[in-house]
Chains A and B, each alone.
Chain A
């Protein structure tokens, strides 16, 4: 049979494809629905948090940080409760990472605060001597892209039925409503921050990237 296949490229290709493809079908599909179900209490990201998440992706924090607490005592002692599948139900894309040059951030919102992040992102070494994390000064200059975050929330709501605007869930509403909501959330964070430039910018209606990022980090619990 193999000799025959080697003289018939079409059937050879079909053979290879079948052998290769079915493993994917068998391993991925059976638990697809099950894995997608959120655990109680997990909520979709607000627009400001989503904007922060997009910044996390833009600066590849996942290249150094994981977001997956494995079920070992050494990990639950260090980071908190181990991860459950449903906690990730609204994570598109997932951000588990594959390497811990820095600590896991799955539950960093439980033990770090807005002003800690503010100093740390500006100059990690001054907060944690010996840190090798880069400083992210540009996040104090760049303005967060709220429009794209809104677009993403709106998209997952319409296409994937993510439960915005439902009882006990974050509101999304129209673009203008969302924008108002974002300003309200951001103002709470800006109030906890120390930098006068960030505060001034916020007075002008500008939300810097760092504000959105901190909203996201605070939400990781």
Chain B
């Protein structure tokens, strides 16, 4: 009875979120490529009137990829991984099934309204927290539903011990709940005054305090959206796909609690040399350096999981995606602490080196891991083999080239910009007017945009491969144990 149940995991919700991941991935990345080209060719700002300017599109890009692409990916993998590591099918509880569907549809409605309002310029300006208060409330509802779904499934689990991935999903849920609530505290102005737009609000915090709360949020959004759930994924999918046990349980334990403990203290590195108290800045700097340890702990644990099995890098593109993801994670968690050193930050802050750093992490680590996870899930959800290994290989190289173009151009651009802003002539006067420091960057902006375009092309290849897998690939009789079956 039990064994039988365990085989019938219900993937209907996971499938829905898989489609959403792909849809929002395309939208979010497409807008990203557009705004990247707008910086190189400003005429592109005028393709759609006031709605097509860099201004309106940038928050759409960030929200689109973070809350559209990535969050859907997190939900998709949760609705897949959760059942399997807890050894219980969602279908055993009609309540959880309904909850899952409500979760998906509410989320979709919310996202569509979010896209429309951001196009209209309705927002609070806080990075990654632009949505106005009615949507914030909807976000909270969606989040609570997800929480119910997590803890509901835990409640009926057969496997009593929570697998490492579960720790990270739980932490994602709790961390984001806390951060989002506090950063979005705002007062709706219409209900106080009786005038103006009903959806407008004003932040509970002012000036320096608002900045502190915002970057406590912004920094930890990186922790609990770009890092923690992705670690949840890699701890499940890499061992599963490669057939190798996790290298060290102790190291997972250390990295998990270390990450939880250290991350929250490092937010000050977004506010160095600003008007927040000096000690907050110093703490931010110091804890950023310490943060290398738990970050590399997880990454090294994953790489060592492949110990003696490096041949799989050649034979299995999915392993390749995941190993490269881990490597990019190591790169960005080394680069971050370097940027957090005060004297380096004095140069790097406000320059394009920061988006360079961001995209090592998001394209290399988050993007690769998410796509690899969905690739791994597809044959199990659709009972068909993956459509094309060749396509996957080309996608891998095209996207990797894209990422390298992206971060190398932004490193050069950022450092050039930072040096020019502070350069002086022999009399100690500033050597460059601001516009000199803009025009010199145009070639790098063009290069970056093209790198992004390559990544987007790779994403279309991913989409096509997934689509063919779902609809036209060869059916498989039984679920594969480890390496995902794929046609050449």
Contacts and interface: CB of A to CB of B under 8 A. Distances in A.
B208 A85 contact: yes
A72 B154 contact: no
B430 A77 contact: yes
Contacts of B182: 24
Interface stretch (A28-36, A185-193, A200-208, A210-218): A28-36
A148 B422 contact: no
A154 to B, nearest CB: 4
A72 B346 contact: yes
Interface in A35-60: 35-36, 54, 57-60
Nearest to B44: A134
Task: Please indicate which of the listed interface residues B56, B125, B214, B276 has the most CB atoms of chain A within 10 Å of its own CB.
Answer: B125
Contacts, number: 256
A116 interface: no
B428 to A, nearest CB: 8
Contact of B160 (A7, A66, A128): A7
A93 interface: yes
A154 B277 contact: no
A9 B170 contact: yes
B28 to A, nearest CB: 16
Interface of A: 2-3, 6-7, 9, 12-13, 16-17, 19-21, 23-24, 27-28, 30-32, 34-36, 54, 57-64, 66, 68, 70-72, 74-75, 77-78, 83-103, 125, 128-136, 138, 142, 145, 147-152, 154-156, 158-160, 175
10 contacts: A16-B174, A17-B178, A20-B260, A35-B208, A57-B123, A74-B421, A85-B276, A90-B207, A128-B435, A145-B197
Interface of B: 38-40, 42, 45-46, 49-50, 53-56, 58-59, 121-127, 151, 154, 160-162, 167, 170-171, 174-175, 178, 182, 187, 189-190, 192-197, 200, 202-214, 216, 253, 257, 260-261, 263-265, 267-268, 270, 273-277, 280, 283, 346, 349-352, 354-355, 417, 421-422, 424, 429-430, 434-435, 438-439, 442
Closest 5 CB pairs of A and B: A88-B207, A148-B196, A23-B264, A151-B196, A58-B121
Given A35-B212, A74-B421, A155-B187, 16 more contacts: A16-B174, A20-B264, A24-B178, A28-B212, A57-B123, A59-B55, A63-B58, A70-B346, A85-B208, A85-B275, A92-B207, A94-B214, A100-B417, A134-B46, A151-B193, A158-B192
